[in-house]
A and B are shown apart, each in its own frame.
Chain A
Amino acid sequence: MTLIHETDYGTPARVSATLVTLEIDGRSITVPEGTSVMRAAMDAGITVPKLCATDSLEPFGSCRLCAVEIEGRRGTPASCTTPVAPGMKVHTQTDKLAKLRRGVMELYISDHPLDCLTCAANGDCELQDMAGAVGLRNVRYGFDGENHRAAAKDESNPYFTFDASKCIVCSRCVRACQETQGTFALTIDGRGFASTVSPGAKESFMDSECVSCGACVQACPTATLTEKSIIEHGQPEHSVITTCAYCGVGCSFKAELQGTTVVRMTPWKDGGANEGHSCVKGRFAWGYATHKDRIMKPMVREKITDPWREVSWEEAVAYAAERLKAVQAKYGKGSIGGITSSRCTNEEVYVVQKMIRAAFGTNNIDTCARVCHSPTGYGLSQTFGTSAGTQDFRSVDKSDVLLVIGANPTDGHPVFGSRMKKRLRAGAKLIVIDPRRIDLVRSPHVQADYHLQLQPGTNVAVVNAIAHVIVTEGLVNRPFVEERCDPKEFAKWEAFIAEHRNSPEHLESRTGVPADQIRGAARLYATGGNAAIYYGLGVTEHSQGSSTVMAIANLAMATGNIGREGVGVNPLRGQNNVQGSCDMGSFPHELPGYRHVSDDLVRQEFETAWGVTLDPEPGLRIPNMFDSAHDGSFRGLFVQGEDIVQSDPNTHHVTSALEALDIVIVQDLFLNETAAFAHVFFPGTSFLEKDGTFTNAERRINRVRKAMPSKVGRDEHWVACALATAMGYPMHYETTSEIMDEIARLTPTFRGVSFDKLDRVGSVQWPCTGLEDDDTGMAIMHGETFARGLGRFVITEYVPTDERTTRMYPLVLTTGRILAHYNVGAQTRRTANVAWHPEDVLEINPVDAEVRGVKDGDMVSLASRMGATTLRAVISDRMPAGVVYTTFHHPVTGANVITTENSDWATNCPEYKVTAVQVARSNQPSDWQVDHAKNDVERKRIAAANVLAAE
């Protein structure tokens, strides 16, 4: 594959039903009304020189290089800011224009260093290209005048440099930061010759508001803003289109390489999810793939106190199979099981669940989605009939009201967060329901109309109260409900929700939200036009997670906000392939495509295809596996790319369960926290080494392509196949595409999916049933009818959680994530992203801090009835009094030592968001931290002489 150069049309595409025909350089061209002359020319294959224009940004008209002549008009208008008109006759190349352009370039170059040969942008510099295009041959002004060529470099950002001497003040960076990213970190200071670009108030990039998304670097036409990786390596020579492996936005990227070395990741303009934008993680934080901590060889050990011993792949597989079989022989088939990872591809997940169901002969298979979005699966399938969000991301452009509950998109789903902010700046209204004042509540040019700052654990009460207002104030969309929903269920729900106990006034003392604010927000949601709900783990990770999901679905149905663009119910998925891992049959009660294992017809289909008998009973979910390990009925576990010890709640409970197991097998990039309890370790592959697909939060199936060969010499699915085979069930795939073909054959909603098709059309959104290329699936679901037929209202009684604050534990801890890191941080902690978040900190309200004598930056102990840990406190008025917040990105903090085993009633999704705690000043690590530090060294030893020992 060669280096892919995406065409820059200069100005954004316009959508219009009215078409305009004009003539450019004698060629006739027809384009939508509103298109710029520059873009129309490009459409006709005519390139107009340009510097300040690029098609990701609105035109600005400052460089004058794109001047054209238009018959009947005076002067030389800028083609980037001039819209087309019917019958217009444009000339892009005349002697007059040539002279003018040369003059413009001469001015730029006279104030520009002439070190092109040694410049990092050599070969990828628009200034250089334009000098060539206009035929610049000499600079009459000389180079000795007043200039900026000695301006200092800002190298504070770990990923890019800012070399002001090369800046041509085209303001593309400033506009990218405003329009694309929405951070407004850059400004142009001064006027005329004195003008310069600077972050914030003349700060360095690191000290400014900059979130390192890289949009400005991508927009910069010169070497002023340049990736450090390009400075180090030089320009790439080929590209591979692939998908980011961090969050559920699922951004498409061009991995740009020299041989097998990635030198840059550039977001892909044609990516359906991101349309050319990215965040700091996807664009910059890929260095972990080649980090020295990666384990390259399989390893085994008898006991977890032994050092690891490197062995061959075959030996590791045989050893694992033997131990698993021994356990099953003694304790029965159901004594072992496995966990799939939402970080792996659909194909890898599918193969692991097949190994467990077919080769292990049990349905003890679960996925890390258990601990994040399992309530989404349950709640949306009960109400709408599918376990997925209803919209594509683009839909937000048509929303008039956004209701964001329990999600922090600017940190958790940054690229979508930017898209949301763009819509909000254009006038959409915003309701935020969150205990914390998240950035979205107040950020440059964005201000929430309502911020319902509720007590953690009262989501159902608040959503019910909103529904109460809608029902009792006559705001229900009756025609929609009558046509689309089950009337009996609606009648029951309507009677329930109208009761006084669901009124905002009655619930005010519980939720802490003033009733009039709830009433105002309810009216806005019901009557403000297209209203869309976006939610995250702040909804699901509660004892009533599933109830909140259903309460949200009730709201959307009651107001008719479902089934078209701009509306809907949208779970923002945590990890890159949460949607996919659920789709692929990773739940113990469901085969691929969300079909219950007790369904004889479905089971028979799989039994025929796989040639085995399948268990008709549901298996254990992750928390049940731990409980059964304590009981002694569950004794062997295969863990694919997940770090349950760090990510799952109540660490003591998890580690003691793992210690009770006879055999633990871990497949991962690194010796993670869970590997400390393992007996067999299989090295995994990073996304840059994978071939397959990820499915994002819009149900969009994107290709993941190998940018480099597997560093460990095997594909990940090889292990599952080899292990299944060693267990007595032969499994083999020649290519990864065969796996997808099998999925498509067995799963109706995936019938139209194949690698060939994805390679041709880019991406599809399931359900995708047609084999033809014009079937790219469904962008918006439940258009005419719900997937289950009639929408079903479910009664969602508010039930306070059992986790209550007490005198001992008077504060509520809620947990979350931040922009720079991803989940347990195994990847991002091994990149320069630690510059933004070197440790987990505890955010605490000034009042709570003061009564405890805690000052900003103090070390504090954070204790719950489960355990304690010590970490740094940061005083923050984003927190309401009585609520503290931390993240779980760093293992030394062990935030989950604190969290409890309490869980969602329907799905056992842990209640991460509510734990009663106490905070006190402390200057020593907790007991757990001391033990952890000791075990961390002991349990991760790799025998030095292992190669010899193995022989």
Chain B
Amino acid sequence: MSHAPSGHTKDLVRMANQIAVHFATYPRDEAVTETATHIRKFWDPRMRAGLFAHVQSGGEADLHEVARGAVGLLQAPR
């Protein structure tokens, strides 16, 4: 009935990268913070968890460099 989970993860990666690309025109630090803030403000926790899990399981390379930085920031203890 349901799609393979990879379908959903692919969407999460696409969305994270789209956000990163928008902010990438700003200086790196700002870009990373803004991307992280955007994801924190607009993504349901399970979506964030899905993205983190993808990175943990070796999917880092799928992410835009800024999105990777943002994931790092989001996972850092606040």
Q: Do A and B come from one complex?
A: yes
CB-contacts of B15-31 with A (<8 A): 15, 18-19, 21-22, 24-26
Once the chains bind, are A906 and B8 in contact (CB under 8 Å)? no
Beyond A799-B22, A905-B18, A906-B22, whether A631 also contacts B8 by CB under 8 A is yes
Indicate if A901 sits at the interface (CB-CB under 8 A).
Answer: yes
**Nearest Cβ in chain A — how far from B50, in angstroms?**
8
Q: Are A620 and B44 in contact (CB under 8 A)?
A: yes
- Is the Cβ of B8 less than 8 Å from the Cβ of A905? no
Instruction: Check if A797 sits within 8 Å of B8, measured CB to CB.
Output: no
- Chain B binding surface SS class: helix
Are A588 and B44 within 8 A (Cβ)?
yes
A913 to chain B, nearest CB (A): 16
| Chain A residues positioned under 8 Å from B24 (CB to CB) | 797
List B contacts of A334 (CB < 8 A).
44, 46
A629 and B7 CA atoms in complex are apart in Å by 12
In the complex, which range does the number of interface residues on chain B fall in?
20 to 34
Instruction: Provide the residues of chain B in CB contact with A543, threshold 8 Å.
Output: 18
Query: Contacts of A620 on B, CB cut-off 8 Å?
Result: 44, 46-47
0/1 string, A348-374, CB within 8 A of B gives 1: 000000000000000110000000000
- Residue on A nearest B38 in the bound complex, by CB: A906
Q: Does B58 contact A (CB under 8 A)?
A: no
Q: A543-B18, A795-B25, A901-B11 are in contact. Are A631 and B42 (CB under 8 A)?
A: no
> Is A617 within 8 A of B45, CB to CB?
yes
Residue A660 at the chain B interface, CB threshold 8 Å:
yes
CA distance A797 to B19 in the complex (A): 12
Contact, CB under 8 Å: A547 / B22: yes
- Contact residues in B for A901 (Cβ distance below 8 Å): 11
Cα–Cα distance between A659 and B21 once the two chains are bound (Å): 34
Known: A630-B7, A799-B22. A908 touches B15 (CB 8 A): yes
In the complex, A696→B26 CA distance in Å? 36
A620 to B5, CA, bound (A): 17
Tell me the A889-938 residues at the B interface (CB within 8 Å): 901, 903, 905-908
Query: Closest Cβ of chain A: how far from B8's Cβ, in Å?
Result: 5
Q: In this assembly, does A742 line the interface, its C-beta being within 8 Å of a C-beta of chain B? A: no
A633–B5 CA distance with the chains assembled, in angstroms: 11
Among B14, B21, B42, the one with the most A-chain Cβ atoms within 10 Å of its Cβ is: B42
Given the complex, which residues of A lie within 8 Å of B26, measured CB to CB? 492, 795
A596, CB-defined interface residue at 8 Å: yes
Q: Does B2 contact A (CB under 8 A)?
A: yes
Find out whether the CB atom of B2 lies under 8 angstroms from the CB atom of A630.
Answer: yes
Task: Report whether A589 and B42 are in contact in the complex, using a CB–CB cutoff of 8 Å.
Answer: yes
Mark contacts of B32-52 with chain A using CB atoms, 8 A cut-off: 1 yes-contact digit, 0 otherwise.
000000100111111100100
Interface residues of A in 584-603 (CB under 8 A from B): 588-589, 596, 598
How many residues of chain A are within 8 Å of chain B by beta carbon? Answer: 37
Structural contact, A905 and B1, CB atoms closer than 8 A:
no
Q: Taking A627-B11, A633-B46 as contacts, is the C-beta distance between A905 and B21 under 8 angstroms? A: yes
Measured in the bound complex, the distance between the Cα atoms of B42 and A619 in whole Å is: 8
Docked pose: A433 CA to B23 CA in angstroms: 26
Contact A905 B22 (CB under 8 A): yes
Interface centre among A334, A364, A547, A633, by most chain B C-beta atoms within 10 angstroms, is A633
CB atoms of B44 and A656 under 8 A apart: no
A903 to B15, CA, bound (A): 8
Q: CB of A496 within 8 A of chain B?
A: yes
| A624 is an interface residue with CB less than 8 A from chain B | yes
Instruction: Choose one: B8, B15, B18, B44; the contact of A364 (CB below 8 Å).
Output: B44
Given the known A-B contacts A496-B25, A797-B22, are A656 and B42 also in contact in the complex, defined by CB atoms under 8 Å? no
Question: Is B22 a contact of A624 with CB atoms below 8 Å?
Answer: no
Inside 8 A of A660's CB, which chain B residues have their CB? 1-2
A618 close to chain B: CB less than 8 A = yes
Closest chain-A Cβ to B9's Cβ sits at a distance in Å of 9
Task: Answer yes or no: A477 CB below 8 A from chain B CBs.
Answer: no
- Cα of A620 to Cα of B42 in the assembled complex, Å: 9
B-chain residues with CB within 8 Å of residue A907 when the two chains form the complex:
42
A632 contacts the other chain (CB 8 A): yes
A659 to B2, CA, bound (A): 9
16 contacts between A and B (CB under 8 A): A334-B44, A492-B26, A543-B18, A589-B42, A627-B11, A628-B44, A629-B2, A630-B2, A631-B2, A660-B2, A795-B26, A905-B15, A905-B19, A905-B21, A906-B19, A906-B38
Binding site for B on A (CB under 8 A): 334, 363-364, 492, 496, 543, 547, 588-589, 596, 598, 617-621, 624, 627-633, 656, 659-660, 795, 797, 799, 802, 901, 903, 905-908
The list of the 10 closest CB pairs from A to B, nearest first, reads A905-B18, A630-B2, A630-B3, A797-B25, A795-B25, A620-B44, A627-B8, A617-B45, A660-B2, A660-B1
